[in-house]
Amino acid sequence: MRIRLPILVLFIILLLFSFVQTTPCFGRYLVKNSSSLLAKNEEPPETKEDLKPGPIPAVEEYEREKLAKLKRNIGRRFLTVPTLNPATFYESPDDLERKLRVRSEKETFVIQEVVQNRSGMMTFYRVKFDSGEVGYLGADGNNLEIEIKKGSLISLTKNVSPPKKSLSQSKALASQAVELVKNHPTLTESAAGGKRSVEVRMIEEKARSFPNLRWRYEAKEIGRNKYRVTQYGSEGGGPPLIRTWIVDLSTDEVNPENLAAKEMYR
């Protein structure tokens, strides 16, 4: 009986070994699964930074424009007026329970800067009264304009319109915007490794494919130091191909606007 037991164990081991040898798919399955499990274990876990969504460009642009609009009020002077609903000033932008008491019913103040609370969710004007006190006036939701309309604040700063540009200045700025578009680099030239400007691309198209191609540029002011430059191109009597760019002369930034202009950069 003692001799039969080792023989039986040896027989089972040989049987299992022969089963693995005759069924290679089973062996490969075990190796494949063990390898995949090992690979999964070696993959670094996703962190919160990986899952965190990035900033939305449209929201960023809106916040920049909003902040720029609020900053235009820096330096303006106002007078508080006694009404049933006077304007509310705070001692701190982070504690709206602490309201600032204006010493007299009528007091003048000047807007010094635009600030946000610690959470970044609310915006305020930091103001300084003639008495020397410093307070904070809500800036969100056009609050300043609302206070002026309801009569709790009176603006003491005259709205001075910017001086009009002379005809020669306007022409010079428009010409500057056109030159920025003409010299703006587009596609990379694979042979030389450099970039070809908008104007060079037009000249090459005329020499290579469209001998009757004609084009001209036109610049129109659309904002402070901003121009829309339009290129009209045609080869014959058909409708012209129109490309447009937005040019910011304060930064020399050129951005293609319509699809036809963007095609030059692809």
pLDDT tens digits, one per residue of 142-173: 999 999 999 999 999 775 566 677 788 889 99
Residue 207 falls within a domain, yes or no? yes
Q: What does the block give as tokens for 79?
A: 């007078």
Residue 26 falls within a domain, yes or no? no
Do residues 171 and 151 both lie within one domain? no
Q: What does the block give as tokens for 25?
A: 């798919």
Residue 16: predicted pLDDT: 60
Q: Which of 155, 185, 220 is the last residue of a domain?
A: 155
Structural domain count, the chain: 2
Domain around 130: 73-155
Do residues 90 and 171 both lie within one domain? no
Do residues 252 and 222 both lie within one domain? yes
Residues 6+ apart with CB under 8 A from 230: 217, 218, 219, 220, 242, 243, 244
Residue identified by tokens 């809106």 is: 62
Residue type, 149: K
Residue 49 falls within a domain, yes or no? no
Do residues 184 and 237 both lie within one domain? yes
Do residues 172 and 261 both lie within one domain? yes
Average pLDDT score over the chain: 81
Do residues 232 and 259 both lie within one domain? yes
Residue 55: predicted pLDDT: 56
Do residues 250 and 216 both lie within one domain? yes
**What is the reported pTM?**
0.42
